[in-house]
C-alpha cells in the first residue's frame, strides 16, 4: 500500500513538473492553449492512475462482506432493543401490581409479569405471578385483569413467607 501511494505521488509530482516546464517555455497564443489542455489531461491521468490498478473484484467482495456485517449488526441491535422493551414492560406491569396492592391495603406483596411478542408487533403482558401474605385476593386479581389484560386463569397466586 505504501509503495502504491509513493508511486502515485511521484507520478503526480513528475507530471506537474513536466507540465510546468513545458508551459514555461511555450509562447503565448494558440499553441499554449492546446498545451494547457494536454497538461490538464496528463494531470488527470496521473491523479486517476491508482484507479486503474484497483482490484474491483476484491473491492466488490469487501463491500458485500461489510454490508452483510452491517446487516447482522443492525439485526442484533434490533433484537436487543426488543428484549430491552420487553424487560421495561414487564417491570412496569409488576410495579403496577405492587402499587395496586398497596392502594388496596394488602401489605407485603411480590409480583412478576411475563410478556409475549404479539402478532401485531409489540409486547403484551400474558401471565403474572403474585405472592402475598394471605395468598389470593379477588380485588387485586380483578384489577390485574381489567388494567393489564391478564385473565384470572393466567394469574398465579402464592403465599409470601
CA gap 17, 14 in Å, rounded: 5
Give the mean model confidence (pLDDT) for residues 47-63.
Answer: 74
Q: For 101, how many CA atoms within 13 A lie in the half-sphere containing its CB?
A: 21
| pTM for the structure as a whole | 0.56
CATH number of 85-159: 3.30.300
Give yes or no for residue 42 having a pLDDT over 90. no
Average pLDDT for the chain = 86
Q: How would DSSP label each residue in 9-67?
A: HHHHHHHHHHHHHHHHHSPSSHHHHHHHHHHHHHHHHHHHHHHHT--HHHHHHHHHHHH
Measured between alpha carbons, how far is residue 11 from residues 8, 18, 23, 40, 73 in Å? 5, 11, 18, 14, 41
Which sign does the torsion angle of CA 64, 70, 71, 76 carry?
positive
Whether 154 has a pLDDT exceeding 90, the answer reads: yes
Taking the C-alpha atoms of residue 129 and residue 16, their distance in angstroms, rounded to an integer, is: 80
Mean pLDDT of 104-117: 91
The domain spans of the chain are 2-54, 85-159
Q: What is the pLDDT of residues 119-130, one digit of tens each?
A: 888 899 999 999
Cell 409486547 belongs to residue:
123
Amino acid at each position: 500500500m505504501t509503495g502504491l501511494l509513493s508511486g502515485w505521488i511521484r507520478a503526480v509530482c513528475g507530471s506537474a513538473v513536466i507540465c510546468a516546464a513545458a508551459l514555461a517555455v511555450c509562447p503565448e497564443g494558440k499553441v499554449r492553449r492546446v498545451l494547457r489542455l494536454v497538461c490538464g489531461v496528463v494531470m488527470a491521468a496521473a491523479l486517476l492512475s491508482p484507479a486503474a490498478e484497483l482490484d474491483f473484484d476484491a473491492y466488490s467482495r469487501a463491500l458485500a462482506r461489510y454490508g452483510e456485517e452491517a446487516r447482522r449488526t443492525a439485526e442484533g441491535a434490533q433484537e436487543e432493543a426488543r428484549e430491552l422493551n420487553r424487560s421495561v414492560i414487564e417491570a412496569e406491569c409488576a410495579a403496577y401490581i405492587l402499587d395496586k396492592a398497596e392502594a388496596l391495603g394488602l401489605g407485603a406483596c411480590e409480583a412478576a409479569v411475563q410478556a409475549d411478542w404479539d402478532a401485531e408487533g409489540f409486547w403484551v403482558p400474558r401471565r403474572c405471578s403474585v405472592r402475598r401474605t394471605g395468598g389470593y385476593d379477588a380485588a387485586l386479581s380483578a384489577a390485574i385483569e381489567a388494567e393489564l389484560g391478564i385473565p384470572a386463569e393466567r394469574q398465579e397466586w402464592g403465599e409470601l413467607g
